[in-house]
Amino acid sequence: MKTLIVIREADYGWLTPLFPGVHPLVMPICNKPFIEYLIDFSILAGSTAVRIVSDGPLNDVERYCENGSRWGIDISYASILVDDDLDAVMDKNARYCSEGRMMVTSGFIFISYEKKHELKPFVAMAPAGTLLRGSTGSLLLTGTPENVGEVREPAPCSLVELDSIGSYYRLSTEILNERPSPYVLPGYSNEPDCHIGRNVVTSKGAEIIKPVIIGNNVQIMKGAVVGPFAVIGSNVIVDRESTVSNSMLLDNTYIGENLDIVGRIAYGNILIDPASGVSIAMEDRHLLSGMKRDGIFGLGLFRYLFHAAVSLLFILLLFIPYLLLAPLLKIQGKWKNRTMTFQGVQQGKNVIVVRPSIAGEGVLSGLARSLSLDRFAMLFSALSGRVAVIGSFPVEAGRHQEAATSVLMPGYRPAVFSYAEAEDWPVNAEDSSIVERYYAVHGSPVQDMVLTVKAFLNRIHAQDQP
């Protein structure tokens, strides 16, 4: 069997103004994009191929679903015109639909199902025609049914209409509450109503109350209370003493200190009341803001001057040791100059810096490493403002080209020293990103200077330990 998912711009027109920039088909419902639920359902119903058909753009959907190999099925895409009826849609996909039985979902609908009932035989045996119908869409079958065995109880699935922000919110809450959930939700879960993603940092004194689902790269600060009924997306910070309950925080949202998010949907800098549909947009350091990448120095010229001054200080400090040690190590062959290309603040804009490697066990190499002489040349890049003196551990260009947007966290700022080094965190992209992001949001020039010195000292200290 094959599945045709037909969805029109008019079906989800209500959603676009509320969530600008997000394609409704990849809108997360409990941290899982909407379309994935439909794909899961199609697979459980016995489909080997899914075609997504729309009169609107599908490139965002395609970027997420690709060719379906992730699910072990074929996913293809097709365009239709605004006033094509279902017959015209079938005509336009005649070749795809030519192999007999088809399942067609039409409209912005969610199909809920239970784990205990098997969908496949039920769908296989159901007669052609409309299986489920709602005011915003339907599920129908074409072609002759198969006889696979005994008759089962009536439809193990039902249709949920998505026609307002309220219905979207209710659906998420219901899925979170359904235990054990038939929908495989993303994240680690050792109890049915608690799903936690990768790299979730909960500070001392923070509280998480089930049921809750949390995405990747999330920081919950001291005294914050998350849950019950909280859906937290990826790249989210809930700052000190704030509470989030009966709410959804979508990806890339920063919730300031001392706030109450109760019965709300927050998306970047937008706060929505799902009951009334009222929304406000604010970009406020103290309340909520979208976690986006801003200029190389978030705080402008002042911060740049500060970084330049600090790097100048380090250049003066390290000038003599550099002059003494570098030529010696070069002669010994332990000092190798490498030119490296790092991803800049803006995607696609790379920064080229000299970052030598210092090999060997000797006293001299150890001394050079502990004085961070390998970063000496990079200090000049900081002086000219191409990199920051403290910020993120630079990501090599090209290494994460595919997933650059998701790997580079908001606030990424390639730098000589990284915040992670200052905090003595393990330097690997996954773990350090969170501390870097924290400072990207909370940092101030003075703190930057303190942390630069701290990072420098940490590196000296690190050399003392074998």
Partner 1 sequence: MTVNEKKCKGITIVSLNGSLDAASAPGVLNSSSALTDTQSIVIDLSGVDFLDSSGLGCLVGIARKKREQGGDVRLACLNEKLRKVFDITRASRLFDIYDDAEYAAGTAAKK
Partner 2 sequence: MSCLKETSQFVFDCSSLDFIDSSGLGTIVSCLRKSLEHNGDLKLASLGPQVTMVLELTKAKRLFAIFSDAAEAVNSYVTGRKA
Contact positions toward partner 1, by CB under 8 A? 55, 57-59, 62, 77-82, 84, 91-96, 98
Q: Site size for partner 2, by CB under 8 A?
A: 18
- Residue 273, interface with partner 2 (CB under 8 A)? yes
b/e sequence 429-443, b meaning 16+ C-beta within 10 Å: beebbbbbbbbbbeb
- Residue 383, interface with partner 2 (CB under 8 A)? no
- Residue 350, interface with partner 2 (CB under 8 A)? no
- Residue 285, interface with partner 2 (CB under 8 A)? yes
Tell me the Cα Rg of the chain: 27
- Residue 89, interface with partner 2 (CB under 8 A)? no
Q: Which two tokens stand for residue 266?
A: 């927050």
Q: Which two tokens stand for residue 261?
A: 């998010």
Q: State in angstroms the smallest separation of the CB of 302 from partner 2.
A: 20
Q: State in angstroms the smallest separation of the CB of 1 from partner 2.
A: 47
Q: Which is nearer to partner 2, 102 or 259 (CB)?
A: 259
Q: State in angstroms the smallest separation of the CB of 247 from partner 2.
A: 11
Q: Which is nearer to partner 2, 200 or 250 (CB)?
A: 250
The answer to whether 157 and 113 have CB atoms below 8 angstroms apart is yes
Q: What are the C-alpha distances in Å from 250 to residues 33, 231, 345, 369?
A: 11, 8, 23, 42
Q: State in angstroms the smallest separation of the CB of 122 from partner 1.
A: 29
Residue from 164, 167, 258, 447 binding partner 2 (CB under 8 A)? 258
Q: Give φ, ψ of 283 to 5 degrees.
A: -125, 90
- Residue 226, interface with partner 2 (CB under 8 A)? no
Distance, in Å, from the CA atom of 390 to the CA atom of 331, rounded to the nearest integer, reads 31
C-beta neighbour count of 90 within 10 angstroms: 18
Q: Residue 285 binds what, of partner 2, partner 1, none (CB under 5 to 8 Å, by partner type)?
A: partner 2
Q: Which is nearer to partner 1, 88 or 278 (CB)?
A: 88
Phi-psi group of 317: left, alpha or beta (phi > 0 → left; psi -120 to 50 → alpha; rest → beta): alpha
The answer to whether 110 and 84 have CB atoms below 8 angstroms apart is no
Q: State in angstroms the smallest separation of the CB of 266 from partner 2.
A: 9
Going by DSSP bridges, is the β-strand pair 279-281/270-272 parallel, antiparallel, or unpaired? antiparallel
Q: Which is nearer to partner 2, 288 or 389 (CB)?
A: 288
Distance, in Å, from the CA atom of 4 to the CA atom of 52, rounded to the nearest integer, reads 6
Residue from 9, 91, 207, 260 binding partner 2 (CB under 8 A)? 260
Q: Specify the 3-state DSSP secondary structure of 388.
A: strand
Q: Which residue is it, tokens 């060997």? A: 360
Q: State in angstroms the smallest separation of the CB of 322 from partner 2.
A: 46
β partners of residue 382 = none
Going by DSSP bridges, is the β-strand pair 260-262/243-245 parallel, antiparallel, or unpaired? parallel
Closest residue by Cα to residue 437 from 299, 252, 261, 266:
252
- Residue 166, interface with partner 2 (CB under 8 A)? no
Q: State in angstroms the smallest separation of the CB of 56 from partner 1.
A: 9
Q: State in angstroms the smallest separation of the CB of 58 from partner 1.
A: 6
Residue from 63, 115, 222, 286 binding partner 2 (CB under 8 A)? 286
Residue from 162, 271, 397, 441 binding partner 2 (CB under 8 A)? 271
Positions that interact with partner 2 (CB under 8 A): 256, 258-262, 264, 271, 273, 276, 278, 280, 282, 284-288
